[in-house]
Structure 1
Amino acid sequence: MHKHVTRLLAAAIAAACHTSALAEPAAASVEHISIIGSQQQLDTTAGSVSLIDEAALEAYEFDDIARVLATVPGVNIRQEDGFGLRPNIGFRGVTPERSKKINIMEDGVLIGPAPYSAPAAYYFPMVSKMTAVEVTKGPSTIAYGPNTVAGALNLVTRQVPTEQIAEIDIAGGTDGYYKSHAYYGNAVDKHGFLVEGIAVGSDGFKTLDNGGDTGFEKIDLMAKYKYDLSTAKFDQYIQIKGGYSEETSHETYLGLTDDDFAQDPYRRYAASGRDKMDWEHNQLQLTHFIAGDRFDITTRLYRNNFDRAWNKIDGFESSLGGQIPTLQEILTSPDTDRNAPYYAVLTGQADSSVREKIVLGNNAREYYSQGLQIDATLDLRFAGLSHQVDLGARYHDDEIQRNHTATNYFMRDGALALTGEPTVPTSTNTEQTDAVSVYASDTITLADVLLTAGIRGEFIDGEYQNRAPGREQDFQNKSTRIWLPAVSVFYQVTPKHAVFAGFHQGFVPTSPIQSASIAVEQSDNFEAGWRFIQSDQRVELIGFYNDYSNLIESCSISAGCDTDTTFQAGDVDVYGLEAAYQRQWNLTGGWRIPLNITYTHTQSEFQQTFYSEFAQWGFVEQGASVPYLAENMFSVNIGLVGEKVDVNLLASYSDSMPESAQQTLTGDVRDSTLAGKETDALFNIDLSAGYQLTPAARLYGKITNLLDNEDIVSRRPYGARPNLSRQMQVGVKYAF
């Protein structure tokens, strides 16, 4: 199978081995888990790359990746639960829904539950333990895949140390917030290890009408063992990484009417009292790394398991039959004769009759993701030119098993009570994907010019099986074969000024459950930029243009669909500008002022008029904007840092975003209920401060949402939901 892939992989390994015969003694071994590399590589990349290092992460002690990424241009985010438990992240205008169109990686390996079969990222690694966050956009994206339209997000865990390290971090705050984080690592001779654990939780910032928990608890445990095999000629090691994490969160998809939001944005209706997510995740990864003077090869064998039970209100059911309004319809127009009785039941003001039984769905799912990944870099000279050749191949296998059920409840005295009816299965199916991917690129150095040409191949075989009794014939196989080119040029005009430009083809596959008649998403992506770098400041301006020949959206329950369904929009244009400015002023007495300003402008246009059953689109007129894309976003991050004291302030702003591409209601029953509605514009200020009590101990505090702004971040899937309320935490770190 895929003989051409095997041949390419064999050629890459053979070339690396041939080069190694000429290698000189190598430098000290390092853990190969970053995808960006050195600062010099970052500065000479023909494209947009951003690195948030450990010092920047510790400045604010954020637990939410959305707040971390607020300082990165070109990142569009739709907030949801306030804590960032299940983030919605997009780059350069791609749909942020469940981060399904970007490549999410941990230590260079795909970390989503099933990145090919079910890419919606209901699991996200714990940001609090990361030592770096890397964002890659532009032509370099083809090295990662399968999604090449937007880019890659790589989360870097702590590496195995070369000497003893240990730290304890304890924090507490408002709404019952707590954090306990500790790690210990050491190296003896050729053996190194690291153990790390973290627990984070909160009682929640919302209040249920009938009382109850609205918070969450998360734990994460990780261990690494590393054995150094280095010799005089080669750096080499093998490493085993294991991890376990779990979460219990009393979160809901049920929001509020706009009027109720205005009265109390942090209210939760009684009908959401039993909503809860429980999940467990475990991982195992074996890594082998070898490097010589002119090559390095990283081989990773990985396995991730993710099991979840997501119990939440899905809507109403009636024993009397007839048409029942959706939750979105009820919350958009709660005062109509049709909707008022259902609204009264949702809020616990009235008891249910047999006409207003509340349906709670338990979306129980089991995922796995596993594979073998090899990445190689060769530094070669031929034809009198310097070449950096990057090669990679990956065999990946993932699966999702859905075992969804529904249970009916009555509202009784402001609380949910079982109707006594049996729990029934709703979705019982399996999607499984085998995928082989390869990439190759060559960067040629011509004096002050770097020319890069690359290509990625994705060879995907998917299988869908309905496992419900009597539905065994509901089965489908589908295959995708595609090659994705990329080219870029970087020109160092002067020692301080550089310009660059690039093109790459974007691709997003469809899942096995979707009909083979639905085409994959494809786009032609262009960018051009200017970079200015000197010792104390850095400026970057990048323009981008994504020309979609076929924009697709897979709609899940989080976006308002009853089942996972894919829709097509055809030609769509997304274009914009990314700007970043960094500066540091060094003052007397060891004080310094770091400044980081980012700005993103994004425009989007559907290129035809059409109707879609996808609620976020509806009746779309040519020129309409894509939903949930803010036109303007900016952030200002400024600090005052001394030998013992540091104070940091992060201000971020995002324009309001349309909830639907449809602009007005026309009276047609197929209209989008949220046509013409927008989220609130978001302005947020976070403040943090730290004091070095002793060389080993640091006291810190932070205030999130300093102004206590109360904004609607989304009305999907069911009603208005708020941003995080003002939160205050204090903590202490002690390093041994």
Structure 2
Amino acid sequence: MRKLLAFTGVLFIPLAGITQNEQKNDSINEAKKTEILKEIVLSSNILGSKFEVKNRTGSAYYLSPQDLQQFGYTDANKILRAVPGVNVFEEDGFGLRPNISLRGTSPERSSKITLMEDGVLIAPAPYSAPAAYYFPTMGRIEAIEVLKGSSQVQYGPFTTGGAINMVSKSIPRDFSGDVRFSYGNYNSRSTEATLGDSGKNFGFVTQYYNYNSDGFKSLDTGGNTGFDKSDYLGKFRLNTNHDTKVFQSLTFKIQYSEETSNETYLGLTQEDFDNDPYRRYIASSADQMNTEHWQFQLDHLIKPLQNVSLRTTAYHNKFSRNWYKLNDVNLGETISIGNILADPLTYNNEYQALLGITNTAEDVFGIKANNRSYDSKGIQTVANINFGNRLYQNLEIGVRYHEDSEDRFQWKDKFAIQNGEMIRTTVAQKGSDSNRITSAEAIAAHALYKVVFNGLTLTPGVRYETITLTRNDYGKEDPTRLGTDLTIKENNVNVWIPGIGANYKFNNALSLFGGVHKGFAPPGTTEGSDSEESINLELGSRFNFNGLRGELVGFYNDYDNLLGSDLAASGGTGSLDQFNAGQATVKGIELLLNYDLLQASSGKLKLPITLSYTFTDAQFQSDFDSEVGIFGEVNSGDEIPYIAKNQFNVTAALENSNFNVSLSGRYTDALRTEAGSGSIPDEFKIGSNFIVDMSAKYFYSERVTIFSNINNLFDSKYEVARLPAGLRPGAPFMVNAGIGYSF
């Protein structure tokens, strides 16, 4: 805590010596306008608009409320595929637990990117257990901000690929609300209700969102394979008069969500997938995940001077989950479900047991209760100061004190199949499979200086992280945690993360930007595990010629040490231990184009086209052998798995004031499921796919909208992963229709 007080003291030093200055020239006023966007009381955006994006010195992308509403996606995978530089691989077809990569980072459970909601870390335990088994429900999110390159030096702890900030429903300026309901095949339903208002000194918003489905997969014996997820949100703001000398606001946010999903890690063999990709074996019929998430946030903003703002946020996130799912089969020897499905001929008896055609003996199936609770809390302060006479200058200084933990208290029950049903035959002692607490204490600070002069913007910055990681393992024989078999591991990290970005605006139609910064990801508690470190470069251009708007970026990430993780989600044991994977390079190109084909016409119709393309070349530069996870035996020059080389997304919309019809097509190149080079063997391959979605909206009146969305318009059958165990399908043809009423 003394460290925290010392950092906080340093934070306030610059405020004393800086006074207000009058900005006079055009470049100063434009830059000032950009900064003002960050200070809007009603939102928690980092970017705030597409205007802010085009003026940054690093690559960034802003998905506005209109962008998110275009196709009504509730799946983060589908939403983010349109963003250049983003790689994802699907798992459940609904996006309940996305696997997201930014510029070639490992996509497993989105564990190598900084995830935030309203500017606050939102992964269950961002430092000690960053695998994102909790992910904000996309249906309740208002906007999404993606920061890459030197754009995200301010945000950590993961600075290699980038950061994603999800913006929850903002407090409206006036009394307003909306109600939306949709229904689709597989008995899929979504319901949303929002109400909010702002007065002179008070504002609020409340939101309810529910999304549920019976699921598109079919158990051999029948049954629900879907989910039911509900979210509740409340924000309440008190503020002084806007014309007061020292403006202040205090906003309290509370969010709660709960989920029950009948989801499994058990996929299919290649032969069974080819026959019916939506099949589920009987042995997965007892699998179910139950989660609960609380978020509390208190945000204080003060503007002691016109050119100075100070925002302080205290936060506390609590997440609990128990994923009760099939882990292994024992017919004399325990075999993991991943090994069975990868080689059903060698493990034919175990494979036949999964099918449940005949009764089995007792205790054949091990179903693990992956019972974990997470705690994440902290306080962060960011000071923003504008100053300068001849030059517009801005200084941002931030500090954060953070604690998080993951408490594992797991057990493995034993089951048999009798008459086509999973029957529990042995109830295990709770805590007998995994019984440990992993925790982290971290202090982070950053400073970012911005100067604008005659079209040139420079943003040098630096970040500092000091982290203590601890694991207390009580062993499998001490469920009451007396400490009779306690082992303790600890790892300490101190790191400086510098970066600099530049943007030169030739004119209103053309600008050039670039930057270099240090990439970092914290290690685990495993002895000998180093931090992940890299040097990252980018160079790009933004342009607008005759209505053709776009961005072209090249990037190069040079890893001195890449970290791998032992995740059950990636076919490992689930220990979450991290291991050194040595040197690697990731390079690529990102392209974004926007054009309205009817811009020259005098009619009211518009036909905007958006194209995004990403090329990613990710390779190991060291030899090593990994016995867990997705890497396998690696030789220098091997490609990093689960990163598609080529991706593109094209969207076209025909619209006017009465209707909107949109089509979206996304292509994903074939990718590897294990490291390798040359042609991809079939057993380690996910084939390419091209999926088309469609949406239509009719604006019946100013208040009423009728809409319909179709995902996978041509009902393509395609594979998305061989993780966690066996082949998994993408979602089939899905259609929904609904109505929205706003006031």
- TM-score using structure 1 length: 0.94
Contact (CA 8 Å) 2:117, 2:165: kept in 1 or not?
yes
Distance 1:244 1:252 in 2: 24
CA offset digits 1:385-429 (Å, max 9, x no partner): 332111111001111100111000012222211224544610000
1:325 is matched by which residue type in structure 2? I
Distance 1:542 1:657 in 2: 23
Partner of 2:522: 509
Residue segments in structure 1 that go unaligned for 5+ positions in a row: 666-671
Identity %: 34
Partner of 1:227: 238
Name whichever of 57-66 and 605-614 sits farther off.
Answer: 605-614
- Is 1:46 matched up with 2:57? yes
Distance 2:185 2:484 in 1: 51
Contact (CA 8 Å) 1:133, 1:156: kept in 2 or not?
yes
1:722 is matched by which residue type in structure 2? P
Distance 2:9 2:488 in 1: 35
- Is 1:171 matched up with 2:182? yes
- Is 1:340 matched up with 2:348? yes
CA offset digits 1:529-556 (Å, max 9, x no partner): 1110358331111000000000011121
Contact (CA 8 Å) 1:385, 1:444: kept in 2 or not?
yes
Q: How does 1:378-457 map to 2 (within 5 A)?
A: 378-381=385-388, 384-420=390-426, 422-423=428-429, 425-457=432-464
Distance 2:167 2:93 in 1: 23
CA offset digits 1:650-705 (Å, max 9, x no partner): 1101101101004699xxxxxx9x99611121211110000011211000001001
SS at match of 2:153: helix
Partner of 1:700: 707
SS at match of 1:346: helix
Partner of 1:645: 659
Partner of 2:26: none
CA offset digits 1:97-126 (Å, max 9, x no partner): 100111111011111110001000000111
- Is 1:463 matched up with 2:462? no
SS at match of 1:145: coil
Distance 1:421 1:44, change over 3 A: closer
1:208 pairs with 213, 219, 226, which one?
219
1:69 pairs with 59, 65, 80, which one?
80
RMSD: 2.2
Distance 1:17 1:212 in 2: 66
- Is 1:307 matched up with 2:313? no
- Is 1:82 matched up with 2:89? no
- Is 1:243 matched up with 2:238? no
CA offset digits 1:441-468 (Å, max 9, x no partner): 1112221211221100001012110123
Contact (CA 8 Å) 2:399, 2:446: kept in 1 or not?
yes
2:257 is matched by which residue type in structure 1? S
The alpha-carbon deviation at position 353 of structure 1 amounts to 3.1
The alpha-carbon deviation at position 317 of structure 1 amounts to 2.7
Distance 2:532 2:546 in 1: 42
Q: How does 1:97-496 map to 2 (within 5 A)?
A: 97-230=108-241, 231-291=243-303, 292-318=305-331, 320=332, 323-336=333-346, 339-353=347-361, 357-381=364-388, 384-420=390-426, 422-423=428-429, 425-468=432-475, 469=478, 472-496=485-509
Distance 1:659 1:266 in 2: 20
Partner of 1:669: none
1:597 pairs with 611, 619, 627, which one?
611
Contact (CA 8 Å) 2:330, 2:350: kept in 1 or not?
no
Distance 1:444 1:435, change over 3 A: same
Distance 1:210 1:258 in 2: 21
Name whichever of 5-14 and 77-86 sits farther off.
Answer: 5-14
Distance 2:629 2:312 in 1: 43
Partner of 2:15: 16
2:514 is matched by which residue type in structure 1? A
Distance 1:727 1:528, change over 3 A: same
SS at match of 2:388: strand
- Is 1:578 matched up with 2:562? no
Contact (CA 8 Å) 1:76, 1:629: kept in 2 or not?
yes
Distance 1:530 1:519 in 2: 35
The alpha-carbon deviation at position 495 of structure 1 amounts to 2.7
Partner of 2:732: 725
Distance 1:656 1:579 in 2: 20
Contact (CA 8 Å) 1:649, 1:685: kept in 2 or not?
yes
SS at match of 1:242: strand
SS at match of 1:56: helix
Distance 1:386 1:22, change over 3 A: closer
- TM-score using structure 2 length: 0.93
The alpha-carbon deviation at position 328 of structure 1 amounts to 2.2
Distance 1:309 1:421, change over 3 A: closer
Partner of 2:697: 690
Distance 1:35 1:98 in 2: 23
The alpha-carbon deviation at position 178 of structure 1 amounts to 0.4
Name whichever of 82-91 and 152-161 sits farther off.
Answer: 152-161
Residue segments in structure 2 that go unaligned for 5+ positions in a row: 24-31
The alpha-carbon deviation at position 14 of structure 1 amounts to 4.2
SS at match of 2:507: coil
